Structure 1
Amino acid sequence: MERRFHFISGLPRSGSTLLAAILSQNPRFHAGMSGPMGGAFGTMLGELSGRNEYSVFVTDEQRRRMLKGMFDHYYGPEYGAEVVFDTNRVWCTRMHQLKELFPQGKVIACVRHVSWIIDSIEQLVRKNTFQPSSIFNYQTGGTVYSRAEGLANGEGMVGFAYNALKEAFYGHDTANLMLLRYETLVSNPAHAIAAVYDFIGETPCAHDFENISYQADEFDLRAGTPGLHTVRKKVEARERSSVLPPDVFRRFENDMFWLDPALNPRGVRVV
Structure 2
Amino acid sequence: MTGEPLQRRFHFISGLPRSGSTLLSAILSQNPRFHASMSGPLGGMFDTMLSELSDQSEFSVFVSNDQRSRILKGLFDSYYGPEFGGDVIFDTNRIWCARLEPLQQLFPRSKIIACVRHVSWVIDSIEQLVRRNVFQPSGIFNYKPAGTVYSRAEGLAKGDGMVGFAHNAVKQAFYSADPSNLMLLRFETLTREPARAIAAVYAFIDEPMYSHDFDNATYEADEFDRRLGTPGLHTVRPKVEPVARASVLPPDLFSRYENEAFWLDPALNPRKVKVV
Instruction: Find 1:120's aligned residue among 114, 120, 125.
Output: 125
Which of 21, 31, 40 is residue 36 of structure 2 equivalent to? 31
2:101 corresponds in structure 1 to 96
| Counterpart residue identity of residue 148, structure 1 | A
In 2: Cα distance, 1:214 partner to 1:69 partner: 29
Equivalent positions of 1:30-179 (< 5 A) are 30-179=35-184
Deviation beyond 2 Å, 4+ runs, structure 1: none
Equivalent position of 1:197 in the other structure:
202
Task: Determine which of 185, 191, 197 is the counterpart of 1:186.
Answer: 191
How far the C-alpha of 1:215 sits from its partner, in A, is: 1.9
Find the aligned partners of 1:163 and 1:80 in 2 and give their Cα distance. Answer: 33
Partner of 1:230: 235
Name the CA distance, whole Å, in 2 between partners of 1:102 and 1:137: 35
Partners of 1:99 and 1:173 within 8 A in 2: no
Matched with 1:9 is 14
Unaligned runs of at least 5 residues, structure 1: none
CA contact (8 A) 2:218 2:235 kept: no
- Distance in 1 (CA, whole Å) between partners of 2:184 and 2:197 is 10
2: CA distance between counterparts of 1:125 and 1:173? 38
Residue 204 of structure 1: how far off its partner (Å): 0.3
1:80, distance to aligned residue in structure 2 (A): 2.0
- Distance in 1 of aligned mates of 2:217 and 2:127: 25
- Within 2, Cα distance between the matches of 1:19 and 1:196? 10
Q: How far has the Cα of 1:214 moved from its partner?
A: 1.1
- 5+ residue gaps, structure 2, are 1-5
2:253 is aligned with 1:248: yes
TM-score, structure 1 normalization? 0.99
Q: CA RMSD in A?
A: 0.5
Instruction: Provide TM-score, normalisation by structure 2.
Output: 0.98
> 1:39 & 1:17 partners in 2: Cα distance?
18
The answer as to whether partners of 1:89 and 1:161 remain within 8 angstroms in 2 is yes
Q: 1:173 Cα shift? A: 2.6
Asked whether the equivalents of residues 95 and 173 of structure 1 are also in contact (C-alpha less than 8 Å), the reply is: no
Distance 1:9 1:200 in 2: 15
Which one of 210, 217, 220 corresponds to residue 212 of structure 1?
Answer: 217
